């Protein structure tokens, strides 16, 4: 498209249209053609042939008389800032480590409970309705004001519950684990680990795993 050689109203209107067009396309690195009228047109590059300026834009080529271009300005391109990536969600093991530290529990102990309860499966649901990593019953989760389907809240609530049970039983690990599995009522009724095969096996598995992990941790720290 060509302008008339002389600057007139038609040229001014057309230049305004070109300016509007330039403002609606993505701004890439390149240069600006500063027109005699004061308007600026963005282009990737330009060339001058026989008194005609050709502006190469992202949408094609614009031709206009060289006399209508006052100068060219190199664009100082600044790449747009990339939004910061959201922090990565913690892994299951990181969630357990942080919850253990938060509530003053040995991490090996909380890991042992999670491993025996759900094998670290965030979506685990037992036949009794226990949910998630720490296998919280809906009623227990409600008392702790936690969403048992949210892994972070599940681990946090499970750790809090274990901490409270350990305080209740003066640090008695066996009693606390039995109450976690069978409920405090059963522990009170039998004044200790209730005679339920499931609960007895549960306590034995957690304690054995805890002892194994603790020994590995001590050995690693001594190396």
Which is nearest to 79 in space by CA: 24, 26, 25, 19? 26
Query: What band does 27 get if pLDDT is binned at 50, 70 and 90?
Result: very low
Which distant-in-sequence residues (6+ apart) come within 8 Å of 78 by Cβ? none
Residue with tokens 């230049």: 15
Range of the domain at 162: 92-211
Whether residue 30 is found in the same domain as residue 70: yes
pLDDT-above-70 percentage for the chain: 85
Q: What is the pLDDT of residues 192-204, one digit of tens each?
A: 999 999 999 999 9
Whether residue 35 is found in the same domain as residue 134: no
Are the C-beta atoms of residues 74 and 85 closer than 8 Å to each other?
Answer: no
**117 a catalytic residue:** yes
Top-confidence residue, 165 or 66: 165
Which distant-in-sequence residues (6+ apart) come within 8 Å of 174 by Cβ? 192, 193, 203, 207
Is 85 within a domain?
Answer: no
Query: What band does 77 get if pLDDT is binned at 50, 70 and 90?
Result: low
Whether residue 104 is found in the same domain as residue 204: yes
Catalytic member of 117, 198, 215, 222: 117
Whether residue 69 is found in the same domain as residue 131: no
Q: What's the pLDDT score for residue 36?
A: 79
CATH number at residue 153: 1.10.530.10
Integer Cα distance of 207 and 213 in angstroms: 10
Q: What's the pLDDT score for residue 25?
A: 41
CATH number at residue 61: 2.30.30
Are the C-beta atoms of residues 31 and 75 closer than 8 Å to each other?
Answer: yes
What value does the mean pLDDT take over residues 135-151? 96
Query: What band does 127 get if pLDDT is binned at 50, 70 and 90?
Result: very high
Q: What's the pLDDT score for residue 3?
A: 38
Integer Cα distance of 55 and 174 in angstroms: 82
Whether residue 62 is found in the same domain as residue 102: no
Integer Cα distance of 129 and 62 in angstroms: 71
Query: What band does 103 get if pLDDT is binned at 50, 70 and 90?
Result: very high
């Amino acid at each position: 498209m060509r302008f008339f050689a002389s600057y007139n109203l038609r040229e001014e209107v057309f230049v305004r249209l070109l300016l509007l067009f330039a403002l609606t396309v993505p701004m890439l690195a390149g240069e600006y053609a500063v027109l005699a009228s004061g308007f600026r047109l963005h282009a990737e590059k330009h060339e001058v042939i026989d008194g005609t300026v050709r502006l190469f834009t992202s949408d094609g080529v614009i031709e206009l008389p060289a006399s209508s271009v006052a100068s060219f300005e190199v664009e100082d391109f600044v790449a747009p800032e990339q939004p910061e990536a959201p922090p990565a969600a913690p892994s299951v093991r990181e969630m357990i480590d942080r919850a253990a530290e938060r509530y003053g529990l040995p991490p090996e102990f909380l890991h042992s409970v999670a491993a025996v309860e759900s094998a670290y499966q965030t979506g685990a649901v037992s036949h009794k309705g226990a949910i998630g990593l720490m296998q919280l019953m809906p009623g227990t989760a409600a008392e702790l004001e936690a969403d048992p389907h949210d892994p972070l809240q599940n681990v946090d609530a499970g750790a809090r519950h274990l901490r409270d049970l350990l305080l209740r039983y003066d640090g008695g690990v066996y009693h606390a684990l039995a109450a976690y599995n069978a409920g405090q009522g059963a522990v009170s009724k039998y004044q200790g680990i209730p005679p339920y095969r499931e609960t007895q096996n549960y306590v034995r598995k957690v304690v054995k795993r805890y002892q194994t992990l603790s020994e590995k941790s001590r050995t690693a720290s001594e190396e």
